[in-house]
Amino acid sequence: MTRQLPLALGADASHARDDLVVGTANSAALAWIDAWPDWRAPGLVLWGPEGSGKSHLASIWLRGAGGRRATIDAALATLDGVAQPNLLIEDVELGLAAGGAAERHLLHAYNVVAQAHGSMLLTARQPPTRWPGTLPDLRSRMQALPAVAVQAPDDDMLAAVLTKLFIDRQLAPDPDVVSFIATRIERSFARLGQAVDSVDRAALAAHRAITLPFVRKVLSAEGLID
């Protein structure tokens, strides 16, 4: 049976609940997502390093809450006419760092959501205490929100995600291949997707089995491992 060529992973990877691998790195954050709508505040901050799975968790919440996704600058327009708004804004500190009217936009959006008894989910790489900005009202509101860290995945979680990514492509590499990648690659779900994509494409092109020497050669050549 001929297998279709794989699509690139990364931004197009599934963010379904069934595709989330749960471990010590994200279990606390998932508990908060599952606790909605019984949050004790109008919002929640998920923070952690790039590639730690914040977007996956945020997408699960967005579907469950029937919410809308927006940038800081477009938040107010997105909320226009929504009776009980639930809003997702990602990479908040990057948007605030751009300056301009971003602080005022975020403050006004927060107030609209809170007054309408909605919820706001914010993601960032740093906790609110480290976000840029000088607007006192915004800082006080953001720092009053519950903030939960999403840690970089550990070796066990990396191995579990790698195994699933390979299985999704109808591949079954030896456990030593999975262990090798998990212990040598950057601790990022996005980087795992790149690695599996690179190995799969290279194996198809070369008509090679996915062996440890082959994987080492491919990933080293692409700079995905040391």
Give domain limits for the chain. Answer: 26-149, 154-221
Q: Which residue has the higher pLDDT, 35 or 3?
A: 35
In this prediction, residue 1 carries a pLDDT of 31
**What pLDDT, on a 0 to 100 scale, did the predictor assign at position 48?**
94
pTM, full prediction:
0.82
Question: Rg of the chain over CA atoms, in angstroms?
Answer: 20
Please state, in angstroms and rounded to a whole number, the distance separating the CA atoms of residues 208 and 217: 12
Summarised one tens digit per residue, pLDDT across range 117-156 is 999 999 999 999 999 999 999 999 999 999 999 988 888 8
Coil, strand or helix at 113:
helix
**Token pair of 39 as six digits:** 């949050």
Specify the pairing of strand 119-124 against strand 147-149.
Answer: unpaired
Cα 38 to Cα 30: distance, rounded to the nearest angstrom: 14
- 153-174: average pLDDT: 89
What pLDDT band is residue 16 in, cutting at 50, 70 and 90? Answer: confident
| Same CATH fold assignment for domains 26-149 and 154-221 | no
| Three-state secondary structure readout of 15-72 | CCHHHCCCCCCCHHHHHHHHHCCCCCCCEEEEECCCCCCHHHHHHHHHHHHCCEECCC
Q: How many C-beta neighbours within 10 Å does residue 1 have?
A: 3
Q: In what order do the strands lie in the sheet with 86-89?
A: 68-69, 86-89, 119-124, 43-47, 147-149
* CATH of segment(s) 154-221: 1.10.8.60
- Judge if the upstream peptide bond of residue 37 is cis by omega within 30 degrees of 0: yes
% of the chain residues with pLDDT over 70: 94
Predicted local confidence at residue 17, as pLDDT: 77
**Torsion-angle region of residue 159: left (phi > 0), alpha (psi -120 to 50) or beta?**
alpha
| The length of the chain, given as a count of residues | 226
Give the CATH number of domain 26-149; options: 3.30.460.80, 3.40.50.300, 3.40.50.720, 3.50.50.60: 3.40.50.300
Per-residue confidence (pLDDT) for residue 77, from 0 to 100 = 92
- Kindly indicate the confidence band of residue 14, based on its pLDDT and cuts at 50, 70 and 90: low
The Cβ-side half-sphere exposure at 214, using a 13 Å CA radius, reads 17
Q: Which two tokens stand for residue 68?
A: 């809308």
pLDDT tens column, 40-92? 999 999 999 988 889 999 999 999 999 999 999 999 999 988 888 999 999 99
| 33 close to 65: Cβ distance less than 8 angstroms | no
